[in-house]
Amino acid sequence: MPSPSLLQEVVADAAPLLGGGKVADYIPELAKVPSQKLGIAVCTARDGVIGAGDYQEPFSIQSISKVFALVQTMGLYEERELWQRVGKEPSGNPFNSLVQLEFEKGVPRNPFINAGALVITDMLQTRLSAPRQRMLEMVRNLSGNEHIISDRTVAMSEYQHSARNAAIAYLMKSFGNFDNEVEQVLHTYFSHCAIRMSCADLARAFFFLCNKGASLDHRNVLSEKQNRQVNALLATSGLYDGSGEFAYRVGMPGKSGVGGGIIAVIPGEMSVCVWSPELDSSGNSLAGIAMLEQVSKRLGRSIF
Amino acid sequence: MPSPSLLQEVVADAAPLLGGGKVADYIPELAKVPSQKLGIAVCTARDGVIGAGDYQEPFSIQSISKVFALVQTMGLYEERELWQRVGKEPSGNPFNSLVQLEFEKGVPRNPFINAGALVITDMLQTRLSAPRQRMLEMVRNLSGNEHIISDRTVAMSEYQHSARNAAIAYLMKSFGNFDNEVEQVLHTYFSHCAIRMSCADLARAFFFLCNKGASLDHRNVLSEKQNRQVNALLATSGLYDGSGEFAYRVGMPGKSGVGGGIIAVIPGEMSVCVWSPELDSSGNSLAGIAMLEQVSKRLGRSIF
Amino acid sequence: MPSPSLLQEVVADAAPLLGGGKVADYIPELAKVPSQKLGIAVCTARDGVIGAGDYQEPFSIQSISKVFALVQTMGLYEERELWQRVGKEPSGNPFNSLVQLEFEKGVPRNPFINAGALVITDMLQTRLSAPRQRMLEMVRNLSGNEHIISDRTVAMSEYQHSARNAAIAYLMKSFGNFDNEVEQVLHTYFSHCAIRMSCADLARAFFFLCNKGASLDHRNVLSEKQNRQVNALLATSGLYDGSGEFAYRVGMPGKSGVGGGIIAVIPGEMSVCVWSPELDSSGNSLAGIAMLEQVSKRLGRSIF
Amino acid sequence: MPSPSLLQEVVADAAPLLGGGKVADYIPELAKVPSQKLGIAVCTARDGVIGAGDYQEPFSIQSISKVFALVQTMGLYEERELWQRVGKEPSGNPFNSLVQLEFEKGVPRNPFINAGALVITDMLQTRLSAPRQRMLEMVRNLSGNEHIISDRTVAMSEYQHSARNAAIAYLMKSFGNFDNEVEQVLHTYFSHCAIRMSCADLARAFFFLCNKGASLDHRNVLSEKQNRQVNALLATSGLYDGSGEFAYRVGMPGKSGVGGGIIAVIPGEMSVCVWSPELDSSGNSLAGIAMLEQVSKRLGRSIF
């Protein structure tokens, strides 16, 4: 079990990496985030959440929301329905490439690349009357934090720079794999991405992933089998084109976001969330990966 | 711990799948293998090897040899030297595609696609004076079976149908990522592929992968860290373009071969080898994956 | 010079081909066109238009409108401005592929693939206050037929099936190569495609291409140099992925549309328009190409 | 008709371009060629060859040999046999890309990219007992110069840097579109490329292309129809990925080589050959294209 002092050491060890990466700047709102942040939080059944550094400061969860969206969809659709619209394989290409999507007739490789998350959001849009509100309820319940919001300025800024995602959505529509209005789904998608949560919120919210699908307050978010499936997908595809490297260095299923957050789990033991806004060349948090590598090393934990 | 009767049930449950796949036929020698075979062997520290079905019958290990070759290379080269010549990421494309190799300047995505294994074999060729003999020694030592051989007829048949692998090797040579004569390396590569081992041999040989790098007779094949790294690569890239599906369904690091064998490990517990020659559309053993799925389900074991 | 009887023979010779191709059916409105049509018209300085078969029947000009749009753009922009937004090279891929567009950073290969025509339409949208009306004026003036209209039902039907073109436009927008609202430009684009003209109208309208840029009524549509440039682009890229075959068999600069029309020119001599709605596998009129091949053969004319 | 003084002006006008391109240096032997060369020769039925600048100096014809090889093949195979092994369409990609070749199942786009020329050479190897000698005979006869040789040092140097061409050939072999030994065909191919001819030799040798297939000494090299076909292929695919630009600027069927030569024809009038070793970014002679553009402009000749 990690102790607060161990987490403080992990943060201290990662501090020299600050300055070596690059804060996401494809939208002006994200570029404004101070780059010098470092936070880590761990959640276990025995101790609940402990943390170090900036672990209580909310940040834009961005693509980490794709895991929430997938989990929500697994509760609304049959397994068969879901996986005929999106695949389970690593993409092997930069995360927003259209080449593979065209080659594979509009079926995205997995739910964690943009194309896959857009299909998932399209499926939520079909079944939910107020998908943005339902997502907020989900993350508030899971994290036990009623103050979580989605940042409208960030969401709007992303929408205004969404030509590439629109292209992806229209391409899937041309293959018959997109049912709702593209603009509407993009708004929902960016609302999800713009949710602000802290490392503490996220470690708590994703505790179910290390607990056979059961949340801290003992609700079944996923079945045990579904939970293993989500972890498997995270392990093979959670860090874009850095998933293999992440497995090699860290050895935990995980998901990153361009806001600099990464969530990861050691099944049966703990959920972890790290945050540091500077990204490496694969779009993953530079110091975040280093902190997770240290956790893995110091605890002697890896799924491998 | 699996019992012999459990393994017999697993074999019996998989029998109805026979006839649903297709034996590899790209070389005449492989097409001759009887398709109705089903075998499974498990190796644990306590019980050694137990098995069911055709688990003592040798078969062509084919791409499973890529794991032995990688492990050998990790002992001969510095980590840095190795990974500048081959990547760690899933390929996201059919296993023999040249597109990605060209796009990425001759550096293969990982050591388990053909391009990656050819680079690895090129590296072995550079450092070893008799690479084919050294590979035989390795597999004989690890499995404790001195009678293991490489089938010359199969190796020669593969060499005579090696235009695509030659194209891959020459393409890497054109990018400066191939040092030896292409023909010579191909001969070594096919000699490795044509090694004949049984499920029992393979489960025993790969026991180190679930045992922190230490073989059954307590030799350190890999360091604990290297062992985790190999398992991570197997989990993300071991089953070609079916790696995500395999993680989702089975949840073990594994490696398949077109001869119908698959090896897999549950770290800390056991190594497993299954064999059934009929392949699915991704080139992996159809009944083999089903048997591993059953093992995972009945034992309640998965890394996720 | 072709005679009316020669044109009648050309039509008669092509009749047995009817039934061998496939009418475009990607939108319901186009699929309604009777497939058994055959028409040809030739325009020379001496004789004006002569024709045979269904040469006076209007049809949907579709991609033939891309030539009018390019010519209009050449009159509104400097040469340098135009060609930094679209290339001059054959595409070497099916006409609507996004792969190449992504690889080449949103700059389409040439003005005659959909991506290129969308950029051209975007440029017209920027400079013209009423681009649809201006296009109608242009084709009415050039053909001397005041009754030419754009079919609103066809245009609307195309708009409702425009997901792929929207994807292309948004992809270019994501690369900064698209200035106006995508929806607005698509409406203009489809209005151009839905213009209805007969072989006689088109042969007359494109007479300037064989006449050093001067129309039948002696207006300079293009400079002599610009005219050679347009013909060069038509020769290398006018028939999608069948341009090489068309040059090989027919040997005239030309442009096809999925409505079954093809216009072609013998510089210095004549413009030709053929029409037959059934298409070959490259999306070009099957009997139309055959008629042009016969014209080329019987007149002993080819630019090569 | 061009006069000697016009050609001298064309050479003088192109001189300021020297220094702006880059001599091919992928093999050491080609990099040794002095870069400051400029030559032009024109051949007409009335005047035979006239020239200016370095038009009598032999250089490495390189890919210009692909035209001779195609013409030879057209005399040895039925039209149908030939075009089922190689296409007629522009490649739309850099000249040595394997992507398209793999996508199109080992059938090269046209005879003028490397893959296409290798298939053509494979076909010659099958039908001719001494293909290198037969090629020398052909170019000696056509140019009336018995002293033409192939430079063995250049051919050997190219063979030693042929990994990429070997990859292309083996890829086609894997698709069943390559019959002979790869090494043997490569030797023949490089022997053709290493032929040394002057602008005068080449203008004379290719006179048949502007003369309905008949050589200066009245032999039928190609039928009139075949000749139009070759010119059509040159117009759409002769200058790699600069074919569209060449048609736009020059308007003549042509073929370039990395030795800096370009041959071109004005059907019915003349053949032209220019030479200047510095290449542009598409691999075509920078000053060579400029000289051809001047010829086209000053004579008012273009096929368009």
| Same domain as A69, residue A188 | yes
| Same domain as A85, residue A34 | no
Q: Subunits touching B (CB < 8 Å, at least 3 pairs)?
A: A, D
| Same domain as C220, residue C119 | no
CB pairs under 8 A between A and C: 55
Count CB atoms within 10 A of the CB of residue A25.
Answer: 13
**D25 in a structural domain:** yes
Number of domains in chain D: 2
- The pLDDT value given to residue A95: 47
Nearest to A54 by CA among A115, A8, A101: A8
- Closest CB to D233 among C228, C244, C253: C244
CB B238 within 8 A of CB B256: yes
Count CB atoms within 10 A of the CB of residue D149.
Answer: 14
pLDDT band at D94 (very low <50, low <70, confident <90, very high): low
- Closest CB to D89 among C92, C100, C235: C92
- Closest CB to D164 among B163, B164, B174: B174
| Same domain as D187, residue D81 | yes
Question: How far apart are alpha carbons C252 and C243 in whole angstroms?
Answer: 10
Q: Which residue of A has its CA nearest to B266?
A: A304
| Same domain as B236, residue B91 | no
D158 is in an annotated binding site: yes
Six-digit token string for A121: 């959001």
**Which residue reads 């197997």 in tokens?**
B234
| Same domain as B228, residue B185 | no
- Per-residue pLDDT at C96 exceeds 70: no
State whether B174 and D168 contact (CB < 8 Å): no
Distance (Å) from the alpha carbon of D268 to chain C's nearest alpha carbon: 9
What string of pLDDT tens digits covers the 304 residues of chain A?
A: 789 999 999 999 999 999 999 999 888 888 888 999 999 999 999 999 999 999 999 999 999 999 999 999 999 999 999 999 999 999 876 645 787 888 788 999 999 999 999 999 999 999 999 999 999 999 999 999 999 999 999 999 999 999 999 999 999 999 999 999 999 999 999 999 999 999 999 999 999 999 999 999 999 999 999 999 999 999 999 998 889 999 999 999 999 999 999 999 999 999 999 999 999 988 999 999 999 999 999 988 889 8
C63 is in an annotated binding site: yes
**C154 in a structural domain:** yes
Sign for the CA dihedral angle at D104, D110, D116, D121 comes to: positive
pLDDT band at D97 (very low <50, low <70, confident <90, very high): confident
Q: Which residues of C touch A173 (CB under 8 A)?
A: 163, 166-167
**A257 in a structural domain:** yes
| Amino acid in the structure at residue C227 | N
**Which residue reads 């059938």 in tokens?**
D107
CB B282 within 8 A of CB B221: no
Distance (Å) from the alpha carbon of D13 to chain C's nearest alpha carbon: 20
The last residue of a domain, from among D162, D193, D224 = D193
Report chain B's mean pLDDT, rounded to a whole number: 94
Question: How far apart are alpha carbons C286 and C266 in whole angstroms?
Answer: 20
Q: Which residues of B touch D97 (CB under 8 A)?
A: 102
B107 is in an annotated binding site: no
Six-digit token string for A253: 């299923």
Residues 243-272 of B with CB under 8 A from A: 243-245, 247-248, 251, 253, 267
- Per-residue pLDDT at D204 exceeds 60: yes
- B220: helix, coil or strand? strand
The last residue of a domain, from among B139, B174, B193 = B193
Task: Identify the domain containing residue D13 by its residue range.
Answer: 4-61+197-299
- The pLDDT value given to residue D93: 67
| Same domain as D238, residue D175 | no
Binding-site positions of A for substrate: 63, 114, 158, 165, 189, 240, 258
| Same domain as B249, residue B204 | yes
CA distances from A220 to A49, A64, A208, B67 (A): 20, 20, 8, 39
H or E, element range at D146: none
- Per-residue pLDDT at B96 exceeds 60: no
- The pLDDT value given to residue A96: 54
Question: How far apart are alpha carbons D59 and D34 in whole angstroms?
Answer: 11
CATH code, domain with D232? 3.40.710.10
pLDDT band at B173 (very low <50, low <70, confident <90, very high): very high
| Amino acid in the structure at residue C294 | Q
Distance (Å) from the alpha carbon of C161 to chain A's nearest alpha carbon: 8
> What are the phi and psi torsion angles at C264 (to 5°)?
-150, 160
- Closest CB to C248 among D92, D233, D243: D233
Six-digit token string for C108: 């389409």
Q: Which residues of D touch C100 (CB under 8 A)?
A: 92
Residues 7-46 of A with CB under 8 A from C: none
H or E, element range at A78: none
C232 in contact with D, Cβ within 8 Å: yes
Q: Which residues of B touch D168 (CB under 8 A)?
A: 167
- Per-residue pLDDT at C94 exceeds 70: no
**D245 in a structural domain:** yes
**B234 in a structural domain:** yes
**A223 in a structural domain:** yes
- Per-residue pLDDT at D99 exceeds 80: no
CB C216 within 8 A of CB C89: no
Query: Which of A185-194, C148-157, C294-303 comes out lowest in average pLDDT?
Result: C294-303
- Closest CB to B248 among A232, A243, A244: A232
- The pLDDT value given to residue C84: 96
Residues 6+ apart with CB under 8 A from D165: D96, D114, D118, D186, D189
> What are the phi and psi torsion angles at C254 (to 5°)?
-160, 170
Residues 79-118 of C with CB under 8 A from D: 87-93, 100, 109-110
| Same domain as C49, residue C89 | no
**Which residue reads 């708009």 in tokens?**
C159
Residues 6+ apart with CB under 8 A from B19: B35, B278
State whether A247 and B233 contact (CB < 8 Å): yes
- Per-residue pLDDT at C29 exceeds 70: yes
- Closest CB to C102 among A99, A173, A182: A99
Question: How far apart are alpha carbons A169 and D180 in whole angstroms?
Answer: 48
pLDDT band at C93 (very low <50, low <70, confident <90, very high): low
Q: Which residues of B touch D167 (CB under 8 A)?
A: 98, 166-171, 173-174
Question: How far apart are alpha carbons A94 and B89 in whole angstroms?
Answer: 11
End-to-end, the C-alpha distance of chain B in Å comes to 18
For chain D, give the number of residues.
304
Nearest to B124 by CA among B57, B191, B175: B191
- The pLDDT value given to residue D67: 98
| Same domain as D57, residue D13 | yes
C176 in contact with A, Cβ within 8 Å: no
State whether A232 and B253 contact (CB < 8 Å): no
End-to-end, the C-alpha distance of chain D in Å comes to 18
| Same domain as B91, residue B31 | no
C158 is in an annotated binding site: yes
**A304 in a structural domain:** no
What value does the mean pLDDT take over residues B125-152? 97
- B125: helix, coil or strand? helix
Q: Which residues of C touch D235 (CB under 8 A)?
A: 235-236, 247, 303-304
Q: Which residues of C touch A166 (CB under 8 A)?
A: 166-167, 170, 173, 182
The last residue of a domain, from among C162, C193, C224 = C193
In the DSSP assignment, the letter for residue A291 is: H
Q: Which residues of D touch C93 (CB under 8 A)?
A: 92
| Same domain as A116, residue A96 | yes
CB pairs under 8 A between B and D: 55
B/e letters for B4-15, b = 16+ CB within 10 Å, e = fewer, are eebbeebbebbe
Q: What pTM does this model have? A: 0.93
State whether B166 and D168 contact (CB < 8 Å): no
End-to-end, the C-alpha distance of chain A in Å comes to 18
The beta strands (E) that lie in chain B are given as 22-23, 39-44, 48-53, 59-60, 196-197, 254-256, 261-266, 270-275, 278-279
Query: Which of A185-199, D178-192, D231-245 comes out lowest in average pLDDT?
Result: D231-245
Query: Which of B21-35, B63-77, C94-108, C233-247 comes out lowest in average pLDDT?
Result: C94-108
Q: Which residues of D touch C87 (CB under 8 A)?
A: 244
**D250 in a structural domain:** yes
Nearest to A257 by CA among A162, A304, A190: A190
B158 is in an annotated binding site: yes
State whether B166 and D166 contact (CB < 8 Å): yes
State whether B235 and A235 contact (CB < 8 Å): yes
Q: Which residues of A touch B247 (CB under 8 A)?
A: 88, 232-233, 235-236
Strands D278-279 and D22-23: antiparallel
